[in-house]
Each structure stands twice: as C-alpha cells, then as structure tokens.
Amino acid sequence: MFSIVLVGGYMVAEIVGGLAFGSLALLADAAHMGTDVAALLIALSAQALASRPAAGRNTYGLVRAEVLGALVNGVLLIVASLWILYEAWERFREPGHVRGGPVLVIASIGLAINIVSAVRVSRVAGSNVNLRAAFWHMIGDALGSVGAIVAALAILWFDAQWVDPAASVFITALVLFATWRVLRDTLAILLERAPFDIHVEEVEAAIAAEPGVAGVHHLHVWSLGAESTALSAHVVFDGPLDLHEAQARTETIKGLLHDRFGIDHATLEAECHSCEEPAHDP
C-alpha cells in the first residue's frame, strides 16, 4: 500500500509537470506510473483471491486469479506504450518546446521514488508472476525517469528538443520488452505448459531411476498458478505389491518431486503393468 500511495501521488505530479513544461518523456513516465498503480492494485486483489481456500466448484481455489491479473497488467502496458509511440511520432513531425530545468528536477525525484518502490516490491515478489509484473512495471518506470533526465540535460545543454520524444520511444521499447516477458510467463500458465525452469525429460528420468520403478508414462507437468506446480503420471512398479507398499513408494516419489523440482501437487497412479498394454491374453 505504501508503494501505491507513493507512486500514485507522484504520477499526478509528473502529469502536471509534463503538461506544464511540454515534456512527452514526463508524460510517458506518468503513463507508466499509472499502470504501476494498476499493477499493484491488481496484485493485491489477485493475491487476496488466490489465498481463498478451495471450495465448491473451485476445487483448486482461485490461484489463477493472480495470473489473470498479470495478463491485465501486460495489456495495460501495451495500450499505454502504443499511445506514447503515437505521441512521439507527432512530436517528431512538429517538435514542441520543452523546459529542461523543471523536467530534470521532476524526473530525478521520480527516479528515486521508482527505485524505492521497486526495491520494496522485489523483496516480496519471489517467483510470483503477478508481483513480478508489478516489479517490471517499476523497473520500466525507473528507466523511463533516466530517459527523461537525459532528455532534460540534452535540452539544457544543447537545446535538442528532439531528444524528448526520442527518450519516450526508448522508454517504451524497454517497457515493451519487459511486458513480453510477463506475457510469456502468463500465457504459458494459462496454456498449462510446463514451467520454464522444469524440464519434463529430467522429471521422467528421475522417477524412472527410483528403485522398483519399471516405467513411467502419461506424464504431465503444468502450473496451477504463479507459484504452484502440479504433476500427474502413471508409474509402473516391479513385482506384485500390496496397497500399503504401493502407497509408500508413491509417497517416496512425491517427496523426490517436491525436494528436487519444487512440485508440490503430484498425483501418481501406481500400476503393476503398463496400462497401454493388455493385462492378459484375450
């Protein structure tokens, strides 16, 4: 909440400064600050939804609410970036007059605020895709403030008015790159792909290497949410097993999956022969 108040308050200051002193770079940074505020609000709301226990038809709870929040963040960034690029094109065609001194002061304070907010969010983000989305928003804003500072200095020293829209294009390019990373991770979760840091072949090999395991098939790995990985597989064990022994072996494999790969929700079906083969002759 501290970061929301801090960033939101200074966003208003940058809008006023950008309009008053004619700086597109400041307005670009203010637009990104606006999406920062939205990102943080969505992150808080999504985390509250994701923390609700599973109930009724929501058998996994609402863990993907934060993923949808990250997707909204990415879309907001793309919309803001397209607007900035359009405005920059107009400025290149008809350059305006930017007052470098006030822009330099406002951008410098904005840089400090972005750094403080980004550090606070990074401490709690971890592998949470939604909080990482908010973090990348702030990194983009910090770089945007640097761009505005450079533009202000160029105007003060060389009266290079064209640097202001050029800086806004630079800011937008950096933020779009960060947005691509967030959208890539978010869409991977929604498409139920295996997490980028887990190699399915290694998981299968690890299970197959366990004592008494004759084979592994129907293996699936996917992300339930930003910080929860699930797996299901059929595991063929050697020799006849009673129910108690089969359960003990599957629990051992689940422990391996948790400790080595961070998979915290595994469903294993124990078999004495492959289900892809007939159990007996017809």
Q: Taking the CA of residue 34 as centre, how many other CA atoms within 13 Å lie in the half-sphere pointing to its CB? A: 16
Q: How far apart are CA 248 and CA 245, in angstroms?
A: 5
Instruction: Identify whether the C-beta of residue 68 lies closer than 8 Å to the C-beta of residue 38.
Output: no
* Per-residue pLDDT at 267: 93
* Per-residue pLDDT at 43: 65
**Residues 6 or more apart from 35 whose CB is under 8 A from it?**
73, 76, 77, 80, 137
Kind and range of the H or E element at 224? Answer: strand 213-225
Radius of gyration (C-alpha) of the chain in whole angstroms: 26
CA 55 to chain centre: 27
> Which range (6-10, 116-120, 275-279) has the least confidence?
275-279
Q: Which residue has the higher pLDDT, 234 or 69?
A: 234
Tokens matching residue 162: 């064209």
Q: Which residue has the higher pLDDT, 203 or 125?
A: 203
What is the layout of strands, in order, in the sheet containing 228-237? 213-225, 228-237, 265-271
* Per-residue pLDDT at 208: 94
Q: How far apart are CA 252 and CA 204, in angstroms?
A: 15
* Structural domains of the chain ordered from first start: 2-190 (1.20.1510.10), 200-271 (3.30.70.1350)
pLDDT in tens, 208-226: 999 989 999 999 999 877 6
* Per-residue pLDDT at 133: 65
Residue 276 has pLDDT above 80, yes or no: no
Residue 250 has pLDDT above 90, yes or no: yes
Q: pLDDT > 90: what percent of the chain? A: 17
Q: How far apart are CA 176 and CA 114, in angstroms?
A: 18
Q: How far apart are CA 225 and CA 262, in angstroms?
A: 13
* Per-residue pLDDT at 279: 47
Instruction: Identify whether the C-beta of residue 138 lies closer than 8 Å to the C-beta of residue 36.
Output: yes
Mean pLDDT, the chain, rounded, equals 79
Could you give the 3-state DSSP secondary structure of residue 228? strand
* Per-residue pLDDT at 249: 92
Interval 163-178 mean pLDDT: 79
User: Which pLDDT band holds residue 274 (cuts at 50, 70, 90)?
Assistant: low
Tokens matching residue 176: 């779009």
How far separated are the first and last CA of the chain, in Å rounded?
68
Residue 3 has pLDDT above 70, yes or no: no
- Using DSSP bridges, classify how beta strands 228-237 and 213-225 pair: parallel, antiparallel or unpaired: antiparallel
Q: Which residue has the higher pLDDT, 186 or 139?
A: 186
Residue 32: which of 67, 3, 7, 66 has the closest Cα? 7
Interval 55-82 mean pLDDT: 76
User: Which pLDDT band holds residue 65 (cuts at 50, 70, 90)?
Assistant: confident
* Per-residue pLDDT at 282: 46
Residue 280 has pLDDT above 50, yes or no: no
pLDDT in tens, 136-151: 767 777 877 888 888 8
Q: What is the pTM of this model?
A: 0.65
Interval 243-258 mean pLDDT: 92
